[in-house]
C-alpha cells in the first residue's frame, strides 16, 4: 500500500538542522513513532509531499527550506512585555525571568501562546513568540514503518488512534 490521501502513515524520523550533517533536533528511533493521516494538513506540506507514493519499508531523506517549514523569523513576534505581567501574588516571578526560559502566556483573546524570554530589562521583558524552529532549514531522514487505511472513526476524528496516535 502506498502513501496517499487518507492513509495512516507511521514513521520513525530524525530531524536535523540544515542538512544530513547538521545538529540533531529530534529523533523518534527507539521511541514511539509518529503516526498521522496523510493529506489532512496535520504535517508540514513539504514533509507530506516528500512521502507521497512511498510504502512501508522505504526511507526518505529530504530538506525543507525554512520558509516552507515553520516560516522565517517574524520580527513582529518578538515583543516587549511590561515586567508587571510577570508578577504573581504580589511577587515578581523571577523563575520565569531568565533568558531562554519558555513562558506560557495568552493573547488578548485568551488563546494560549508560548514564548521564549530573550532579554530582561528593568521595566520590560523581551519575549519571542516565533515557533522555535522558525528561520531554520530542516533535514529529515524518515523510515516508513506502516501504511494502512484510516478507519472511518479516525477520519471522523481527524487523527490516528492507537500506538503513535491519540489514545482514547
Q: What pLDDT is attached to residue 79?
A: 95
- The residue range of the domain holding 107 is 75-128
CATH number, domain containing residue 101: 2.40.10.330
29 and 105 within one domain = no
Task: For residue 168, tell me if it sits in a domain.
Answer: no
| Domain count along the chain | 2
Write down the residue that cell numbers 472513526 correspond to: 153
145 and 117 within one domain = no
CA distance 32 to 41: 21
Please state the pTM of the whole predicted model.
0.83
The answer to whether residues 15 and 139 touch, using CB atoms and an 8 Å cutoff, is yes
63 and 40 within one domain = yes
103 and 24 within one domain = no
HSE, CB side, 13 Å, CA atoms: give it for residue 13. 23
| Average pLDDT per 10 consecutive residues for the chain, totaling 168 residues | 96 97 96 95 96 98 97 96 91 91 90 94 96 96 97 92 65
Task: For residue 163, tell me if it sits in a domain.
Answer: no
CA distance 162 to 140: 24
Q: What pLDDT is attached to residue 167?
A: 58
CA distance 128 to 102: 9
Collapsed DSSP state (helix, strand, coil) of residue 156: helix
Task: For residue 143, tell me if it sits in a domain.
Answer: yes
Helices then strands, counting H and E runs in the chain, come out as 2, 11
CATH number, domain containing residue 25: 3.10.50.40
Amino acid at each position: 500500500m502506498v502513501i496517499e490521501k487518507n492513509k495512516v502513515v507511521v514513521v520513525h524520523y530524525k530531524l536535523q538542522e540544515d542538512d544530513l550533517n547538521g545538529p540533531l533536533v529530534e529523533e523518534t528511533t527507539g521511541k514511539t513513532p509518529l503516526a498521522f493521516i496523510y493529506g489532512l494538513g496535520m504535517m508540514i506540506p513539504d514533509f507530506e509531499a516528500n512521502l507521497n507514493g512511498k510504502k512501508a519499508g522505504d526511507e526518505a531523506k529530504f530538506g525543507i527550506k525554512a520558509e516552507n517549514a515553520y516560516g522565517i523569523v517574524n520580527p513582529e513576534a518578538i515583543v516587549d512585555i511590561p515586567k508587571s505581567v510577570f508578577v504573581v501574588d504580589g511577587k515578581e516571578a523571577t523563575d520565569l525571568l531568565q533568558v531562554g526560559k519558555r513562558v506560557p502566556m495568552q493573547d488578548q483573546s485568551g488563546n494560549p501562546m508560548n514564548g521564549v524570554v530573550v532579554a530582561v530589562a528593568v521595566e520590560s521583558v523581551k519575549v519571542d513568540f516565533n515557533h522555535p524552529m522558525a528561520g531554520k532549514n530542516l533535514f529529515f531522514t524518515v523510515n516508513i514503518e506502516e501504511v494502512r487505511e484510516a478507519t472511518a472513526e479516525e477520519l471522523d476524528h481527524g487523527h490516528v488512534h492507537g500506538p503513535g496516535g491519540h489514545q482514547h
